[in-house]
Amino acid sequence: MRREIRLPLTASGRLDRALADALGLGRAAVKRAFALGEVRVRGRRARASDPAAPGALVELDVELPAGPPEPEPDAPLSVLLERPRYLVVEKPAGVAVHPLAPGEGGTLANAVAARHPECAEASPEPREGGAVQRLDLETSGCVLFARDPEAWEALHAQLGAHTVDKVYLALAVGRLPAGGVCSVPLAQRGGRVVPAPDVEAEERLQARGLRPRPAETHYEPERRFADHTLLRVRIVTGVMHQIRAHLALLGHPVAGDALYGGAAAALPGLERQFLHAWRLAFDDPDGAGRVAVESPLPPELEAVLARLPAAR
């Protein structure tokens, strides 16, 4: 929805925060407008970190915020771990974690809300329905939901401190002889991210109003095939599309990932990207020690591996 607003004369601080306050919207909706490059001040594209200019005319495309997920009792839900203050559930490929628009259904959060309505009150953004982290639409695996606001804050703080272990299984195109680390910063541009492999690239992106974020991806070969490598991937940070972009940058895109791998990533019989959130480990918010949850590889991905020619 296209909006035009004049900032109040008392506006101060960062532009994104001043806009959220002036519009009466959650910061997630405003943040997304900046990420898509849809915010202009006096006709020029603006950045979220720009200082708010009192009285400035701001134009932006902003999505109406979704409310709490509507419970869907008939939606399937597989719970991997249930504790009094949180849940870890299985996300199938093709199912979004939570709604993005009012009235949207069919998400994981809709199914969770039907069985555990308290989750809908746990997250600051109502649309998240208590989800502490997110996965791409076509990525399957572990998703953590909080059951009360204090648990959400405690678990989300662990994400910010990089103490949550997030381990994925990814089928990469080509043969990787050894593991390694990719730490190239990534900047969001529309619905994808672009790498900033050196200072010059980072400066060019910043000049276009994009902000490269630190991203660190560790990978180790788990199983080798003739033309592919199954990797165990651990991400320290949580940038959008991080694994997909980093592996593509290394010349080994995720199988089935047309966005970053193009035709080279295609694999007969694979109808989705081969990326699965296999393991999630974090500290119990009540101090009950370290918690680790694993999600088995879905049958359709196991079937893909079974069809691959063995390494020669």
Domains, the chain, ranges and CATH? 2-61 (3.10.290.10), 66-161 (3.30.2350.10), 168-276+302-307 (3.30.2350.10)
Name residue, tokens 């509507």: 70
Q: Is 200 left (phi over 0), alpha (psi -120 to 50) or beta?
A: alpha
- Quickly state the pLDDT bin for 63 (edges 50, 70, 90): low
pLDDT at site 270: 95
The pTM for the full model equals: 0.81
Predicted confidence (pLDDT) per residue in 11-37, tens digit: 888 888 888 887 766 666 777 778 777
- Least confident piece of the model among 33-42, 79-88, 158-167: 33-42
Taking each helix axis as running N to C, give the angle between helix 27-35 and helix 15-23, from 0 to 180 degrees, rounded to the nearest 10.
130
Q: What is the mean pLDDT of the chain?
A: 91
- Backbone phi, psi, residue 305, to 5°: -60, -40
H-run or E-run covering 89 = strand 86-91
Query: Residue 132 corresponds to which tokens in the numbers above?
Result: 């502490």
Q: Where are the beta strands (DSSP E) in 97-239?
A: 140-146, 165-173, 180-182, 186-189, 192-195, 217-224, 228-235
Q: Bridge partners of 57?
A: 6
Please tell me which residue, 64 or 311, carries the higher pLDDT value: 311
Q: What is the mean pLDDT of residues 252-276?
A: 95
Residue 229 in contact with residue 174, Cβ under 8 Å?
yes
Predicted confidence (pLDDT) per residue in 130-185, tens digit: 999 999 999 999 999 999 999 999 999 999 999 999 999 999 999 999 999 999 99
- Identify which of 230, 219, 222 has the alpha carbon closest to the alpha carbon of residue 304: 230
- Identify which of 220, 226, 270, 229 has the alpha carbon closest to the alpha carbon of residue 253: 229
With H, G, I as helix, E, B as strand and everything else as coil, classify residue 83: strand
Residues annotated as catalytic (active site), given as ranges: 136
List for the chain the helix, strand, coil content (%; round to 5): 25, 30, 45
